[in-house]
Structure 1
Amino acid sequence: MCPFPQITRYFATALTCLWTGLYLGLCAGGAIADGDHAPIGDAIQDVPLFDAHMHYKEPAWASYPVASVIELMDRSGVAMALVSSTPDEGTIMLWDHAPGRIVPELRPYHGDATSQNWAKIPDMQRYLEDRLNRYPHQGIGEFHIHRLDFQDEDLFRAVIGLAKARDIYLHVHSGTRPIRWLYSLDPEVKIIWAHAGLGEPAAAVYDLMADYPALLADTSLREFAIMTGDTLNPNWEKILYDFQDRLMIGSDTYINNQWEDYGRIMAHNRRWLAQLPRAVAEKIAYRNAERAFGLTISMDQIGTR
C-alpha cells in the first residue's frame, strides 16, 4: 500500500490531464492541418495564372495577331506571361500591345542563330547587349544547351555578366549537367530551368532543385506527367510540395498547335493545381512569379492591356 495516497492520486490525475490535453491538442492540430491541406478544388478557377513560358514566334504572327493572343490569355485566366520569341521582334510586338500583361525576355535566336548554333554566332554578345539596352527584358532565354561545349565558356561568362548587371534571369532549356556547369561559372547566377528539365526523370529534377536552393523551374510540357488520370503523380507531388516556392507553370507555344491548344493546356494546369492546398497552388500559379519579377498579379488584369 502506498504510504502517500494523496500524492499518488495527484500524479495520476495530472498524468490523465496531460494525456487528455495532448490528445485534444493533437486532434485540434490535425483538424487544422487537414483544413490547411485541403485541396483548393474548384476555387482554382478564381486564381490568376502566370504563364512562365510563352513564345510568340514569327509563324504565329499572321494566324494569331497580338490582340488574339491577349484574348486567349483572358479566356484562360492568364493575367501575365513571360514571353521570348524567335525573333525578339515578336516579344516586343506583344509587349507594345499589352505592356501590363507581358514580361519580355530576350531569346538569342535571330537570323542564322538557332537553338543548335546560337553560342557559335559571331557578335552574339553584342546582339544581346544591344537588345537589352533597348528594351526592358527581364531575362535572357529561353535558350537551349543541347550539348555542353566548354569552348563556349567565354560567351556564357559574358551572358551571365549581362544578366547579373541587370539582375535578370537566364531561362535555360537543358538537362541537369549544363545547369550545374552554369552554377560552377557563377554560383550567384539567377536561373529558370525550362520545362524542369523536360527529358529528365523526376528523381533527377528533385536532386537538382535540392542541390541549388535558388534555382527556379517552369513546368511547361510537364503538365500531363504531373497528373496521371485523376491524381498527382507521387514523384511529382513530392517535387511540388518540397519546392513549392520555386515552381511556375507555362504553355510553351513553340508551334501554332500549342496556340490552338492553349485553353486546354491551361485548363489541365488548373486540374493539377486543384489537387493542391490553396497556399501551394497560389504560389505555383502566380505568387512565385510575383516575387521573382517584382510584380502584382490579379484577376483584375484580365481584359486589360
Structure 2
Amino acid sequence: MAQKLTKGRKKAPEGESQPVTEVYLFISTQRIKVLNADTQFPPRLPGQKSMLKNHIMHGINQSCLTDLAQLIAQSIGQAFSVAYQEFLRANGINPEDLSQKEYNDLLNTQDMYNDDLIHFSKSENCKDVYIEKQKGEILGVVIVESGWGSILPTVITANMMHGGPTEKSGKLNIGDQIMSINGTSLVGLPLSTCQSIIKGLKNQAQIKLNVVRCPPVTTVLIRRPDLRYQLGFSVQNGIICSLMRGGIAERGGVRVGHRIIEINGQSVVATPHEKIVRILSNAVGEIHMKTIPAAMYRLLTAQERPV
C-alpha cells in the first residue's frame, strides 16, 4: 500500500510561492519506506502490470496533520493485519474462524500482568535522590526511553560517566526510572525533551531526582491459550518494533523499543531473526520473556559509546 503525502517546508516570504515536496509512503508486510520523485518504486512483482495501479493514492493537505497521522497508523495496521492473516493460513488456520469477539472474550479473562504495578506501588522503590556537583559540571548520566507500553512511560538510567557526579554519588543505578528532576515530571515526555532538561542543569550545584528503583531487565508474561490468537506485537532482529494496544502482549508487559534477550528460559541474544519469529509463532500457554531497552543493550555490549 502506498500513501501520497504532501510535505510542506518553512513558510515562504509574502508574495513568494510555498515550495512543497511530494513523497510516497510505501507500506508492506515487510517494511516501511519513504519514496520521493528521485526514488523509484519497488520493482514489480510477478504478474503485476503496474505497481501504481495496485496501490491506493490519497492526497494529503499539510494542514491536516492529525488526519495524516491517523492515515499512516491505519495503513501500518492494515499491513500487519494482512501479515497476520497470512501467518494463520500458513499454519492451516482460517482467519475467518477467529472472530474479533472471540479475541475480546479472551482479553476479558486476563488481568494485566501486574509485576510493574506492584513494583511501582511500593513506597520503598520510589526515592528522592540528591546529587551534588560543581556549577558548570555536567550531570554525567545517559538516559533511554522506557518504551511504549510501560506502565509509567518515562526515561531509564542507561549509563553513567566514569568519575562524573552521578557515578560518584552512588545514589543511582543502571535501570532506575527517573520520574522527575527538580520537581519537573518526566512522565510521558519525549526522550529529547528529557535530555534537554538534563542539559539545562549544568549551572546548578544540587539536583533532586525522584527515581523508581528498577532492574535493567524487564520480565514479561504473555498468556496465549492457542495458536489462533495473535501475540499482538512484531519483532525485527530481536527488537520489538510494534505493539497492538490492548492485546495480550501489552497486557503481559511487552514494550516497544526493547530487545528480547530470553524466551522461556532460553537466551536468544545470538539467535537469528527467523528463529526468534519461529519460536514466538509456535509458543502457546504461558510465554515468559526477558527484555531490555535496545539502546541500553547496545551500550552495555559496547556496540555504542555513551554520549
TM-score grouping bracket, smaller chain normalisation = under 0.3
Structure with more helix by fraction = 1
Bigger radius of gyration, 1 or 2? 1
TM value normalised by structure 1:
0.22
